[in-house]
Amino acid sequence: MVTAVKQGEIITADMVTTIKVGGYNLPENVIREKENAVGKYARHDMQSGDYILSGKLSDTPIAEFAYLHELDGTREAMSITIKSFAAGLSGKLEAGDIVSIIASDFGDFRQTVSPPELRYVKILAVTDNKGYDANTNNGNDDERQLPSTITLLVVPEQALLLAEMEAKGRLHCTLVYRGNSENRDKFLKIQDEFLRGESEVDSDD
């Protein structure tokens, strides 16, 4: 490795180089050809100067971060902070849920707002303060942490609004739908149509 790489990241050609070293004490499973590493996913964090071992690579996205590799350029992943137990639905939210985003104490007039642009938003992950996602089994159940952030699937317009709401208020999530992907996609379609100006979404503003 010539640069550091985090678990789940895809390894690109500029991250690795080939060097000549003595074979004494060289691990048997060390990768010997650059092309056998490029395009693979890191199973573990690696630092600059580390040998790349076959056990540290995966042909497919790591399950914990697979959702990040589904982004197609039209949507983005954005995390928001859960500032209280209640704000995150008492720890009950899960990846795949459709939620509405509400901001309390928002702005100079400390209003409570529920923008129609954020009426139906899909959760990609719920993460604790140790970086473990609730939709994976990588955490220790005996030391389970309360959710600290929620990662949402958004378009740029929604991302800007979320950033402003988090900076000027306290965000809350209300659960709208949990269930099969077909019904979930119906909510997302309604939201997409609203963002394109093709329909209306109910709001409590």
Query: Is pLDDT at 165 greater than 90 in this prediction?
Result: yes
Reported as a single tens digit per residue, the pLDDT across 55-67 is 889 887 766 666 7
Structure tokens at 201: 């979404």
Q: What are phi and psi of 15, to 5 degrees?
A: -90, -15
Domains and CATH numbers, the chain: 1-60 (3.90.1210.10), 67-195 (no CATH)
The answer, yes or no, to whether residue 130 has pLDDT greater than 60, is: yes
- Give the residue among 112, 68, 96, 106 at the shortest CA–CA distance from 176: 96
Q: How would residue 200 be classed by pLDDT, with cut points 50, 70 and 90?
A: low
Q: What's this model's pTM, rounded to 2 decimal places?
A: 0.64
- Total count of residues recorded for the chain: 205
Do residues 113 and 103 make contact, with C-beta atoms less than 8 angstroms apart? Answer: yes
- Collapse the DSSP code of 12 into the 3-class scheme (helix H, G, I; strand E, B; otherwise coil) and give the result: coil
The better pLDDT of the pair 200, 55 is held by: 55
Q: Is the dihedral of CA 176, 178, 182, 184 positive or negative?
A: positive
Secondary structure of residue 163 in the 3-state scheme: helix
- What residue ranges in the chain does DSSP mark as E strands? 41-42, 57-58, 76-81, 98-106, 111-113, 121-128, 147-154, 170-177
Q: CA–CA separation, 2 vs 101, rounded Å?
A: 41
